[in-house]
Homo-oligomer: A and B are copies of this chain.
Amino acid sequence: MTQCEDMAAFFKALGHPTRMRIVKELLDGRRCVGDIEVCLDLTQTNTSQHLHVLRSNGIVDCLKEGNTRCYHLSDPERIRSILSMVEDRKEM
């Protein structure tokens, strides 16, 4: 995988409104799947699928906690910086 392909895959993973919402939710801290589901009003299946995309691109990671799985950003500060540069891009 070339570097461009790898970077494009990362951006692509962030390039969906639902995944963007999940990422933003996780900026506030770890969440289990059910919480994300309720809080963003998604179906269980859809939540799980989008989390899979984020996870396989290294954007989130998860820990088993008994019966639930708790997702968190792999590198919250880096994501926060990237997002803030994208958010601000029109205010110039």
Q: Is A66 engaged at the interface, CB distance under 8 Å to the other chain?
A: no
A interface, size bucket: 20 to 34
Give per-residue flags for A6-18: 1 if the beta carbon is below 8 A from chain B beta carbons, else 0: 0111111111110
Interface centre among A7, A86, A92 (most CB of B within 10 A): A7
B87 in contact with A7 (CB, 8 Å): yes
CA distance A8 to B20 in the complex (A): 6
Q: Does B15 contact A19, Cβ atoms closer than 8 Å?
A: no
> Is A2 an interface residue, CB under 8 A from the partner?
yes
Within 8 A of B (CB), among A43-81: 58, 75, 78, 81
Q: Do A8 and B19 touch (CB < 8 A)?
A: yes
